[in-house]
């Protein structure tokens, strides 16, 4: 049975906290150094991407590969078509994924990764513009690139100055900077972001409309304005939304009756069997249009402390209804 090694005496809580803070401080300084270097080469990289007919193909080995993969994902989700290609696999057939219209974003802190260097002649022959992200401006990759982004850092956060830490953080930050600068330049909006994230919470909030979740047709609880309270209660019970619309002869909404109205009616000693809905309904209730976002319904319910809304058309006719449970099921709230 394996025995866990004993922690050295020096590994006290205080020393562990101090070590963690030291790493964050070193990486903060590295980011400040790299951030100060953002200038003409960064703008040139952005213009290359903005003018491209194809996609951005990110590549890198080891830790640089992990960062390249994340940068590709961020670019793709913010309006710049991008994907990751492993340089080792590229040399065994995956180069076919890269067309002549694509731009290659190659990451290698040393600028001398064999797998990445091997791709350079092929990419050059194919005419792919290359954006290199390295820590050595004189490296093979940096010199071969059309644009070089210098991500060199004073030191790694690793006390041995060996494990990629500050350097990968710097590369990731520059990748994020590229993605956001391109997002701004393209006029990419929250709606655009939602369209590429339809399964996410933001996508649901920005893409889901009232018409997608409302109860309509036979599922819409409604009674005429001359209905009795008992008839309204039967309708509420059948449709199970905790409310019913009250409409005139042309279907226009004139009031709403809810569970809360029923409690208030009982408190006022109204005879449920003989009362009319006109006597107990809420007049001029909050409404919403079918073409509005479901997120707007959530905002109205929260602001006015209500649990349901009647959906009306341009003529104020009741065409649907929804309550807080519908929003919860749709994961809007």
The domain locations on the chain are 21-188, 210-329
- Nearest 5°: the CA angle 226, 231, 237 is 140
Do 282 and 309 form a contact (C-beta atoms < 8 A)? no
**DSSP element (H, E) containing 16:** helix 13-36
Stated pTM of the model:
0.65
For 151, the 3-state DSSP assignment is coil
Kind plus residue range of the DSSP H or E element containing 279: helix 277-280
pLDDT in tens, the chain (333 residues): 555 555 555 578 888 999 999 999 999 999 999 999 999 999 999 999 999 999 999 999 999 999 999 999 999 988 899 999 999 998 777 888 999 999 999 999 999 999 999 999 999 999 999 999 999 999 999 999 999 999 999 999 888 877 889 999 999 999 999 999 999 988 876 666 656 655 555 556 666 889 999 999 999 999 999 999 999 999 999 999 999 999 999 999 999 999 988 888 888 878 877 889 988 999 999 999 998 888 889 899 999 999 999 999 999 999 999 999 998 888 877
Q: Using CA atoms, how far apart are residues 150 and 139, in angstroms rounded to an integer?
A: 11
To which CATH superfamily is domain 210-329 assigned? CBS-domain (3.10.580.10)
- Residue 12 has phi, psi (to 5 degrees) of -80, 165
Give CATH superfamily name and number for 21-188: Glucose-6-phosphate isomerase like protein; domain 1 (3.40.50.10490)
């Amino acid at each position: 049975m394996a025995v866990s090694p004993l922690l050295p005496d020096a590994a006290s809580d205080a020393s562990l906290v101090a070590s963690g803070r030291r790493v964050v401080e070193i990486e903060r300084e590295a980011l400040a150094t790299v951030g100060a270097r953002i200038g003409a080469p960064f703008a040139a990289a952005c213009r290359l991407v903005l003018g491209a007919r194809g996609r951005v193909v990110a590549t890198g080995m080891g830790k640089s590969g992990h960062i390249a993969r994340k940068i590709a994902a961020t670019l793709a989700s913010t309006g710049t078509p991008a994907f990751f290609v492993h340089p080792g696999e590229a040399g065994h057939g995956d180069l076919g994924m890269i067309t002549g219209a694509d731009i290659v974003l190659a990451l290698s802190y040393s600028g001398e990764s064999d797998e990445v260097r091997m791709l350079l002649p092929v990419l050059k022959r194919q005419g792919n513009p290359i954006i290199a992200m390295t820590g050595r401006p004189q490296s093979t990759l940096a010199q071969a690139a059309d644009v070089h982004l210098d991500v060199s850092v004073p030191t790694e956060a690793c006390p041995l100055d060996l494990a990629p830490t500050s350097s990968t953080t710097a590369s990731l930050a520059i990748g994020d900077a590229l993605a956001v600068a391109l997002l701004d330049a393209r006029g990419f909006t929250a709606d655009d972001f939602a369209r590429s994230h339809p399964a996410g919470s933001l996508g649901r909030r920005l893409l889901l409309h009232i018409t997608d979740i409302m109860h309509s047709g036979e599922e819409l609880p409604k009674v005429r304005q001359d209905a009795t309270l008992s008839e309204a209660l039967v309708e509420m019970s059948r449709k199970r939304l905790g409310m019913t619309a009250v409409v005139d002869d042309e279907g226009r909404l004139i009031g709403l009756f809810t569970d809360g109205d029923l409690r208030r009616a009982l408190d006022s000693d109204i005879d449920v069997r003989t009362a009319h809905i006109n006597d107990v309904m809420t007049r001029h209730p909050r409404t919403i249009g079918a073409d509005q976002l479901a997120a707007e319904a959530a905002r109205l319910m929260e602001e006015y402390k209500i649990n349901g809304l009647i959906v009306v058309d341009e003529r104020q006719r009741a065409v649907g209804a929804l309550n807080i449970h519908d929003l919860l099921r749709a994961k809007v709230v």
